[in-house]
């Protein structure tokens, strides 16, 4: 899980009333405010982010999507 929060009086306070159980091990990474989109902003899906790449790779077998495990790992074709 990823939670957003702010440091207040030397303590990390999670946004949106999120709470973690006492003793939960966490990793804290400082980021700029511009790196976190506001809650009301539409964040593009992974598909929307990668859509420009769809169909751009040339020279793959015609059944690559269905049999990628065969081509990548040597498993039997489906």
Phi, psi angles (nearest 5°) of residue 12 = -80, 120
**pLDDT tens figures, 24-46:** 888 888 888 777 766 656 778 89
6 within 8 A of 15, measured Cβ to Cβ? yes
Reply yes or no on whether the pLDDT at 77 is more than 90.
Answer: yes
DSSP 35: G
Q: How far apart are CA 7 and CA 14, in angstroms?
A: 9
Mean pLDDT of the chain: 86
**pTM of this structure:** 0.39
């Amino acid at each position: 899980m990823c939670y957003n929060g702010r440091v207040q009086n030397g303590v990390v306070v999670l946004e949106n009333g999120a709470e973690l159980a006492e003793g939960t091990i966490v990793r804290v990474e400082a980021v700029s405010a511009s790196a976190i989109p506001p809650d009301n902003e539409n964040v593009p899906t992974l598909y929307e982010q990668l859509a420009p790449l769809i169909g751009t790779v040339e020279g793959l077998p015609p059944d690559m999507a269905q049999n990628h495990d065969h081509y990548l790992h040597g498993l039997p074709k489906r």
